[in-house]
Structure 1
Amino acid sequence: MKLNTINIAHGWMCQYLKAGDLCIDATAGRGHDTVFLCELVGDTGRVLAFDIQEEAVNSTKFLLKEKGLKAEVYLESHTHMDHYVKPETVDGIVFNFGYLPGGDHSMSTKADTSKLAIEKGLVLLKRHGVMSLCIYHGGDTGFEEKEVLMTYLKSLDAKAYTVAVCELYNKPNHPPLAVLIQKH
């Protein structure tokens, strides 16, 4: 398996998530993380996926159907995921910040709403819950978002959270970052 940001995040999440867990794909995109979470939590678990783009929601639903998996997929901002689950009930949350792969680059995640969604996600996580962030900041989007998110993450109380940042250090052109968070 090739070492990349997604594989780092998925490998880490696999260590903590299990059958029966409640998980959220906060940025559904093409549905690959939604499928990944569904496979981890199995038939006894629950997965919710959110995206503001109809194209992403349709792609996610299509991939789930193709794989024979079920998840609750919402055409909704990740800033509203707290309307669907209660605080301290979620085992894992996955984010991919940037734009929809193969989609319109003018439509991408933004620093203010991404930070708000992370804040809400941290409240939703139960004790020992985990969150992964893949921050795509190269090309034409994401530099401001990366700086805002990294500043915020560095400020998190070390007694309440552990935050690890993985960077593909020798890759050119601003490779994405994998950020791994565990709630204590």
Structure 2
Amino acid sequence: MLKRILPQAKILAEEIIQQGDTVVDATCGNGHDTKFLAACTGESGRVYSFDVQEQALANARALVGTMDHIEFILDSHANADSYIDTSVKAAMFNLGYLPRGDQSITTSHESTMPAIEKIFNLLVDGGRIIIVVYHGHPAGKTEKDVLLESLSKWSQKEAQILKYQFINQKNDAPFIICIEKNRNA
């Protein structure tokens, strides 16, 4: 059977992440991807988890418990390169707003595109950025349009960019964009 969006996003990450890798949760939210990534890398790995909301980081800390190979960062993912000084194997983004949070605080293309570009520059060859695009709100529609337009112009010599989407679902169903850095890019 075809995988739903969130399970497929995790598969795209699991396929490449190994114990000891450095990874990024660019949109920590309630911490589900952070916890997933921490399990993938094991204690010998490193997870950088970004969010602009203190409540999101508090929720994530409560979810992950005592895992000490996670660095929670109260800042925009657009500043990822200020915190990460090593190569990255994978990054995950869940765009939109914090579930059960303030829906007026959303991701936006003004920070998401620079974050993608900066994290791409940190990726190892074969590394991936997995983005789940939630576009069922006005800011999400703008962000989606800018992402698709910008990413469609990236050189195929540098990256392969996949869009995984169900086309017969109602209510602006989310979809995945996966950017894989080409070897020797």
Map 1:22-33 → 2, pairs under 5 A: 22-33=22-33
Q: 1:165 maps to which residue?
A: 163
Q: 2:180 maps to which residue?
A: 182
TM-score (norm 2): 0.93
Q: Secondary structure at the match of 1:49?
A: strand
Give per-residue Cα distances to partners, 1:96-155, cap 9 Å, x unaligned: 110001111111011111111111111111111111000100144400100000111101
Structure 1: unaligned runs, 5 residues or longer: none
Q: Which runs of 4+ in 1 moved over 3 A?
A: none
Q: Secondary structure at the match of 1:81?
A: helix
Structure 2: unaligned runs, 5 residues or longer: none
Give per-residue Cα distances to partners, 1:17-54, cap 9 Å, x unaligned: 11010001010000000001000000111111000001
Supply the AA of the counterpart residue of 1:104.
Answer: D
Map 1:1-184 → 2, pairs under 5 A: 3-65=3-65, 68-70=66-68, 71-86=70-85, 89-184=87-182
Q: Secondary structure at the match of 2:79?
A: helix
The 10-residue stretch of structure 1 (32-41 or 121-130) with the greater mean CA deviation from structure 2: 121-130
Take 2:32 and 2:67, find their aligned partners in 1: how far apart are those partners? 12
Identity of aligned residues (%): 35
Take 1:119 and 1:161, find their aligned partners in 2: how far apart are those partners? 12
Supply the AA of the counterpart residue of 1:56.
Answer: A
Paired residue total: 181
RMSD over aligned Cα atoms: 1.4
Take 1:161 and 1:3, find their aligned partners in 2: how far apart are those partners? 24
